[in-house]
Chains A and B, each alone.
Chain A
Amino acid sequence: MTQPRHLLWAACVLAVLLPGAPLVAKTILLTDADCERMAAICADAPRLSWAAMLSTTGVYDVTYVEMTNTRAFLICFPLDKIPKGQRITKAELMLPVTLASAGEQKLHVRRLLAAWGPGVCHQYRMTRPNKVEWKQPGARAASADRAPKDSAVAKVNGAGEQVINLTEDVELWYTGAGANHGWALTIEDPDVLVRLASPISVGKGQWKLRITYEPE
């Protein structure tokens, strides 16, 4: 191949690599560091935004997120890093499970429908600028606080990275068909515990949303 043709091919490859000119599928990896909104809410501590783990009587900690049926974890990833004019082909939420009750346990993931913000807790979806309660405490009201059905139910079998396909939700948000208020993770069964490394403590960087997209 002559030198000018070699340079032509190199230029073509560079054009592919440039983010501003996506011609093939690309994958973006968002982590908890990208999220501006996360919360661990709990019925037993109705005003706390971070009632992630009860370490001793009356003391809540954020080192781990202990999911039980009295708690919910809320998380919203921003999607503004995806260029316009794309189609979401795959979106996977990856969670660092460190411990789970014996047997197969179900971790439910559902889209949140109501806006939430500063002061979010079991009782309120925000307390600033005004106090606004959830329709049902804990973000539990179907079709009001959260979607009427699960987007996915992850089957957790012990510690390890849990990968959850949430392509439809991300596509819905990306296209603007639904407002992106993120997800609520819940356990619906009694006497079940699933512990995750906390995204603001020991599990920083381990909560990921991997999105693959391609031009429409």
Chain B
Amino acid sequence: MKKWFRLFPLLLLAPLVFPARGGELEVPEAADVVVNLEFVQQVLAPGSRCAALSDQAHMLAIGHRPGKDVPHVSLFRLDAEGTAADKAIPLKLPRSEVLKERANFPVSLAFHPQLPLLYVWQDIEPAKMATGEDPAVKELDHLLIYNIEGQVPELLLALARGPEFALGQTAGSLALDRAGRRLFLPNVCTKAPGAAAITPAVGVLPLDFLGLPLLGEKGPAEEKLPADPRKATALRDTRVGECKTALQAGKLPGKMLVSDAASPLSGFPTGLGFVPVSDDVVIMGGTYGPVVWDEGNRRARFNHFFLHANYGAPYVDRLSAHPTLPVVYFSVLRTHWIYRMEHADGYLTLVPQQATLADTTMQSAPVVLTKRHLVAVGGVNRVGLPRIDATGAFKAEARTDLSVHNPAVEALAYSEKFDRLYVAVEKLP
């Protein structure tokens, strides 16, 4: 009897409760962490914070944090096989004499999808002053547009200065839509009607077929780039001149659309990634997670997704899109989480998948390697490479990560054309 009694606790365990697995995925730790992968080129670019790549122009751009003997932006030409040059073309961003004692720096880079143009969003370290307006408000041009056709990048336009743009931000993204007709801007200031206080916002600057701010309601009558390169250059120079005339009059060329003051954006930085889906709908990285912005719907202009309620830090979500599937990804900086969510016409839908990579602390936005069914995310001296399936969902499969010399891998870019991932590092392997 006594021995029967010993077994009763075991019998009481039935009926048993078996918890089931679901929308949260623990991605197994990397089976291998290697120093070289054949589809990855590590690029020497100390102090890197952002990157962009153009398959059209065969160029990789890496933006640097302020530092001694470090350019603002390093441009690497890609050869016919997609190998980035060893030597970079250094790019120094303009800054007015008034601000010469302060370090300016790139925050985000973006290439035009078809034209040889590089867009740079820059900012400056805050002024050390107790009162009064920071002189940089009137002196710093945040948006720089470069022509990258020649041996040396040529600054075409410097614009976006003034109280409409926040200062001292180290995050925020530039993005263009697929057609290259809209440029999305971070860190824009707006005000509610009748209000004195500034409200965080984002902006959309319409572009013409030359990739320059669209002046007037419609573009030039002839929306085709002349075949003759000299005529094309002349046309572009004329348009640049028209933009500069507007700037000299103290106006921003073109008509920037600014998001409504009543939005879920609580502070700066804003625009932590943009995924333009249609003329009206864009998904953007907001204060606490992705935000669907539907400018065509006043009653439901924003849909805000605060998914990591157990970690309430702001400004830590970094958004990017799958290039071909209706899926977005967002990493949560300084955590081990990366999310995947579907959208339909830009409206986030169904259920998010949260993948946990216990061995990777997120430092960058996710980058999708479409041809390899991988997502790359920068970590601490590491690039995490979780696998995704045909729907873009993360898989709980063994993976191989990359070990690099960079305590904060923030600058990564993928070339669809060359099927190559470029990672900015402090030291080559």
Contacts and interface: CB of A to CB of B under 8 A. Distances in A.
Interface of A: 1, 6, 9-10, 13, 16-17, 19, 24-39, 44-45, 47-51, 55-63, 81, 117-121, 126-128, 200-202, 204, 212
25 contacts: A6-B3, A16-B14, A17-B13, A17-B14, A25-B14, A25-B15, A29-B20, A33-B23, A33-B24, A37-B350, A39-B349, A39-B350, A45-B303, A51-B300, A57-B262, A58-B262, A58-B299, A59-B264, A60-B300, A62-B305, A118-B342, A118-B344, A118-B350, A128-B326, A212-B15
B14 A58 contact: no
Interface string B1-20: 00110010011011111111
Interface string B303-326: 111110110000000000000001
The 7 nearest A-B residue pairs measured at CB: A119-B344, A33-B22, A45-B300, A34-B22, A49-B349, A58-B301, A202-B309
Contacts of A38: 350-351
A10 B6 CA distance: 11
Given A58-B301, A59-B304, A117 B21 contact: no
A48 B346 CA distance: 10
Nearest to A203: B309
Given A13-B7, A58-B260, A63 B306 contact: yes
A15 to B, nearest CB: 11
Contacts of A9: 7
A200 B23 CA distance: 10
Given A47-B297, A47-B300, A61-B306, A27 B22 contact: no
Contacts of B348: 49-50
Contact of A24 (B4, B14, B20): B14
B302 interface: yes
Interface in B400-427: none
A1 to B, nearest CB: 4
A62 B307 contact: yes
Contacts of A37: 350-351
A206 B290 CA distance: 23
Contacts of B349: 39, 49-50, 118-120
Most chain A C-beta atoms within 10 Å of own C-beta, residue among B17, B260, B297, B349: B349
A30 B20 contact: yes
A56 B265 CA distance: 12
Contact of B16 (A26, A45, A61, A204): A26
B335 to A, nearest CB: 15
A61 B292 CA distance: 10
Contacts of B24: 33
Contacts of A60: 300, 302-304
Nearest to A56: B262
Contacts of B299: 44-45, 58
Contact of A61 (B264, B297, B310): B264
B307 A27 contact: no
B15 to A, nearest CB: 5
A29 B14 contact: no
B344 A49 contact: yes
Contacts of A16: 11, 14
Contacts of A81: 18, 20
B381 interface: no
Interface string B61-76: 0000000000000000
Nearest to B19: A29
B302 A58 contact: yes
Given A26-B18, A201-B306, A201-B309, A58 B351 contact: no
Most chain B C-beta atoms within 10 Å of own C-beta, residue among A25, A50, A204: A50
Contact of B303 (A30, A50, A202): A50
A91 B342 CA distance: 30
A157 B350 CA distance: 29
B345 interface: yes
Contacts of B100: none
B83 interface: no
Interface string B321-339: 0000010000000000000
A45 to B, nearest CB: 4
A27 B17 contact: yes
B303 A48 contact: yes
Nearest to A36: B351
Interface string B269-306: 00000000000000000000000101001111111111
A130 B193 CA distance: 41
A201 B307 contact: yes
Contact of A117 (B3, B306, B350): B350
B147 interface: no
Contacts of B11: 13, 16
